[in-house]
């Protein structure tokens, strides 16, 4: 189980309080699809992803960004049981969606960069550390049921 | 994943825009490296204080950023241009190359923090690729 100090919990809550999921979710997923174009392989049914402008204007990408970021937020209310919280989602991503778990890490990197853009220097080094630890825990839990 | 000429131009343009804040970005990036990835402090055991924001960390972050700027000028031949830096890292410093990626990530975060409007997905992609190429060139002489 991941151990959290009181300060780390506060930092993670503080970051989430600055995130508008409807804005940051789409931005993070768009950025992931643009910066790491091979991640587009999972979105064949989303329509036009042929240019950066198409990705940014694609409503299915935006909607899915919100879904993904909402999913990432779930752990905030279950910080002491992250593994079990994501067990079903892990099975879904492995058995049904067949997503390479390394892609979770790529999306989280893009999300951190979007959050940094929104927060500027308010995202202190200690906050960034706690935030990335949180994302690491979720990513690990999402990859756990793969076999 | 080599850089297209458009991406090279994007990198040069963004680094030029960034130049007034490059010291700050370098200092912040190394501070974040030691904060987010504490194992990297193992390379700085000779410093009195290797905590985020400390004087030696900030100073060294500025030095590293200077090296990155130098590499921008050698973007058309990173391997050739960074030969002696690679030898330094391979034979003297012996920094595990996995750490280049960690520092690159921290640099991208700082660029996004300080230039949120300019650090578009396109700039992000070009700079990410450039830093990856830089890391490869730095690791060239390792074995």
Residue A124 has pLDDT above 90, yes or no: yes
> Domain boundaries in chain A?
6-143
When CB atoms are compared, the residue of B31, B119, B121 closest to A125 is: B31
How many CA atoms lie within 13 Å of B65's alpha carbon, on the beta-carbon side? 27
What domain count does chain B have?
1
Contact A120 B116 (CB under 8 A): yes
Lookup result for tokens 């960390």: B57
Q: Which one of B101, B124, B126 would you mutate to disrupt binding with A, by most A Cβ within 10 Å of its Cβ?
A: B124
CB atoms under 10 Å from CB of A44, counted, come to 8
CATH architecture of A6-143: Orthogonal Bundle (1.10)
CB < 8 Å to A121, chain B? 113-114
CA pair distance A20, A116, nearest whole angstrom: 13
- pTM for the whole thing? 0.92
Contact A128 B32 (CB under 8 A): yes
Q: Which one of B112, B129, B130 would you mutate to disrupt binding with A, by most A Cβ within 10 Å of its Cβ?
A: B112
CB < 8 Å to B34, chain A? 125
Contact B116 A118 (CB under 8 A): yes
CB < 8 Å to A123, chain B? 109, 113
Contact B113 A121 (CB under 8 A): yes
Boundaries of domain holding B54: 5-139
DSSP output for A20-57: -HHHHHHHHHHHHHHHSGGGGGGGGGG---SSHHHHHH
pLDDT score, position A16: 98
Which residues are CB-contacts of A47 (< 8 A; sequence separation ≥ 6)? Answer: A58, A60
CB < 8 Å to B105, chain A? 109
Residue B48 has pLDDT above 90, yes or no: yes
pLDDT score, position A147: 86
Tell me the average pLDDT across A42-52. 95
Domain CATH number, residue B49? 1.10.490.10
CA pair distance A135, A112, nearest whole angstrom: 9
Find the radius of gyration of the CA atoms of chain A. 15
Query: Contact at 8 Å (CB) between B41 and B50?
Result: yes
Q: Could you tell me how far CA B41 lies from the centroid of its own chain? A: 16
What are the structure tokens assigned to A120, written together? 């500027």
B109: closest chain A residue by CA: A113
Tell me the average pLDDT across A76-84. 96
pLDDT digits (tens, 9 = 90+) for B72-124: 999 999 999 999 999 999 999 999 999 999 999 999 999 999 999 999 999 99
């Amino acid at each position: 189980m991941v151990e959290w100090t009181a300060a780390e919990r506060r930092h993670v809550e503080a970051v989430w309080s600055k995130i508008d999921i409807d804005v940051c979710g789409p931005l993070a997923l768009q950025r992931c699809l643009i910066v790491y174009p091979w991640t587009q392989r999972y979105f064949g049914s989303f329509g036009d992803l042929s240019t950066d402008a198409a990705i940014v204007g694609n409503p299915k990408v935006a909607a899915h960004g919100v879904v993904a970021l909402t999913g990432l937020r779930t752990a905030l209310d279950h910080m002491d049981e992250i593994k079990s919280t994501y067990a079903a989602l892990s099975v879904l991503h492995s058995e049904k969606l067949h997503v390479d778990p390394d892609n979770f890490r790529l999306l989280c990197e893009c999300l951190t960069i979007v959050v940094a853009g929104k927060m500027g220097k308010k995202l202190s080094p200690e906050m960034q550390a706690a935030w990335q630890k949180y994302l690491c825990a979720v990513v690990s839990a999402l990859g756990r049921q793969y076999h | 994943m080599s850089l297209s000429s458009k991406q090279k131009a994007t990198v040069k343009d963004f680094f030029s825009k960034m130049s007034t804040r490059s010291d700050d970005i370098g200092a912040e990036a190394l501070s974040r490296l030691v904060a987010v990835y504490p194992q990297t402090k193992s390379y700085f055991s000779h410093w009195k204080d290797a905590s985020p924001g400390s004087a030696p960390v900030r100073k060294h972050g500025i030095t590293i950023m200077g090296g990155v700027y130098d590499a921008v000028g050698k973007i058309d031949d990173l391997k050739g241009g960074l030969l002696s830096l690679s030898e330094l890292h391979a034979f003297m410093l012996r920094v595990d190359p996995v750490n280049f990626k960690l520092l690159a990530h921290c640099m991208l975060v700082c660029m996004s923090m300080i230039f949120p409007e300019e650090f578009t997905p396109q700039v992000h992609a070009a700079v990410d690729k450039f830093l990856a190429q830089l890391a490869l060139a730095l690791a060239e002489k390792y074995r």
